[in-house]
Amino acid sequence: MKTAKVSELKASISEYLSKVKAGEEVLVTDRGKPIAKIIPLKRGDIEIPAHLLTLEKAGLVRIGAGRLPADFWNMPRPKDKKGRALNALLREREEGR
């Protein structure tokens, strides 16, 4: 666990938040006494935006669990015999998107 004085935390908050995002905990001290702990959120702790929940209820999206199946990269790719995906990509490139 990383320890940071309040003054250090204020001076380089981005650095400490990067450590938290990577899974590390940061103990905040004031005059040598612990006053707070910054810990990373778990997937279940993060609130899902309302518009995504609405789309999920409508069956338009599926909110993932945050992990790919173990055999994901070995699964066969879907067939696009009519080339619709390629044509859409080429149209987007021509339009400058």
Instruction: Kindly state whether residue 59 falls inside one of the protein's structural domains.
Output: yes
Distance, in Å, from the CA atom of 51 to the CA atom of 61, rounded to the nearest integer, reads: 11
Give dist(CA 84, CA 32) in Å, integer.
Answer: 63
Summarised one tens digit per residue, pLDDT across range 38-53 is 998 775 656 777 788 7
**Measured between alpha carbons, how far is 53 from 49 in angstroms, rounded to an integer?**
7
Task: Tell me: pLDDT of 26 over 90.
Answer: yes
2-5 β-sheet, strand order:
2-5, 26-30, 33-38
- The whole-model pTM stands at 0.46
Residue 38, SS3 per DSSP: strand
Residue 11, domain extent: 1-64
Structural domain total, the chain: 1
CATH of residue 57: 3.40.1620.10
pLDDT above 90 as % of the chain: 51
Residue 94, in any domain of the structure: no
Do 34 and 27 meet the contact criterion of CB atoms below 8 Å apart? yes
Model confidence at 76: pLDDT above 60: yes
Q: Tell me, yes or no, whether 48 lies in a domain.
A: yes
Residue 27, Cβ neighbours under 10 Å: how many? Answer: 14
Q: Are 37 and 25 in contact (CB under 8 A)?
A: yes
Phi, psi angles (nearest 5°) of residue 91: -65, -45
Structural domain includes residue 93? no
pLDDT for residue 90:
94
Q: Looking at residue 13, what is its pLDDT?
A: 94
